Structures are given as structure tokens and as C-alpha cells.
């Protein structure tokens, strides 16, 4: 079983749509959770950290369910510029090492 699992997609949605991505992780000792976005042939960039209480940053909302070892990302009012691959990232056995999911590809259509 992969340490971090994501639905690879692709998700093709119209502009303005709401889209949700899910992620599960296997290491119950993980303490830090993140969503990164990666554009084609570029490095990943931190989108947001995910906190137990859930957190929101503009159109983006992240949720964490530790009991189910499940993380989600909700994007509201999708923009064309949101098209990218979204990576679910969890810290591993070492608190400072990150384990990446394989990513979920999103394409926002005009």
C-alpha cells in the first residue's frame, strides 16, 4: 500500500466549479500535512498546510481527519489558473522528511 494515496484524476471542470480532492495516508504517526501544487515540468509549490481544525485560504479549504487518516482539499470558484497537479504531502517517519502522493491532475476549462 502506498504511504500517501490520491485519486490521479484527471479532473476536468468548468470555470467557477467547485472541486474536491481526497487523500489518505498510512502512517498514523504523521504530524504534518500539506497540499502542494505542481505545474507541468516545474517544482512543487506549497499551497497550504493542513491543520486538525481545518483551515481556509481564500477559495481553498483543507480538512484533516486523523481518525480516518484522510485529508481533503476543496477549491471553490475554480479559475483557469488553478489548472495544475495537486500533491498531498505528509511527513514520514522522520518529522522533517516529506512523503508525496502521486498527485491529482486538475484542468479548469473555459
Partner 1 sequence: GAVVSQHPSWVICKSGTSVKIECRSLDFQATTMFWYRQFPKQSLMLMATSNEGSKATYEQGVEKDKFLINHASLTLSTLTVTSAHPEDSSFYICSAESPRVYEQYFGPGTRLTVT
| Ranges within 4-43 binding partner 1 (CB under 8 A) | 4, 32, 41-43
The site for partner 1, by CB under 8 A, has a size of 20
Residue 95 touching partner 1 (CB under 8 A): yes
Q: Which residue has the cell 471553490?
A: 76
Minimum distance from residue 61 beta carbon to partner 1 (Å): 21
108 contributes a contact to partner 1 by CB under 8 A: no
Of these, 103, 104, 106, 108, which contacts partner 1 (CB under 8 A)? 103
Please, which residues have CB within 8 angstroms of residue 34's CB and are 6 or more apart in sequence?
Answer: 46, 47, 48, 49, 50, 88, 89, 90, 98
Which of 13-21, 58-66, 68-76, 86-94 is the region at the interface with partner 1 (rule: CB under 8 A)?
A: 86-94
For residue 62, list its beta bridge partners: 55, 73
Integer angstrom CA distances of residue 10 from 7, 30, 108: 8, 27, 11
Site for partner 1, rule CB under 8 A: 4, 32, 41-46, 87, 91, 94-103
Amino acid at each position: 500500500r502506498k504511504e500517501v494515496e490520491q485519486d490521479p484524476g484527471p479532473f476536468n471542470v468548468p470555470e467557477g466549479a467547485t472541486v474536491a480532492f481526497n487523500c489518505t495516508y498510512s502512517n498514523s504517526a504523521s504530524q504534518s500535512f500539506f497540499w502542494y501544487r505542481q505545474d507541468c515540468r516545474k517544482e512543487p509549490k506549497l499551497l497550504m498546510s493542513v491543520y486538525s481544525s481545518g483551515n481556509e485560504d481564500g477559495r481553498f479549504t483543507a480538512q484533516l481527519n486523523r481518525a480516518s487518516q484522510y485529508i481533503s482539499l476543496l477549491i471553490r470558484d475554480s479559475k483557469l489558473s488553478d489548472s495544475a497537479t495537486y500533491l498531498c504531502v505528509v511527513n514520514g517517519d522522520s518529522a522533517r522528511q516529506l512523503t508525496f502522493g502521486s498527485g491529482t491532475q486538475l484542468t479548469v476549462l473555459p
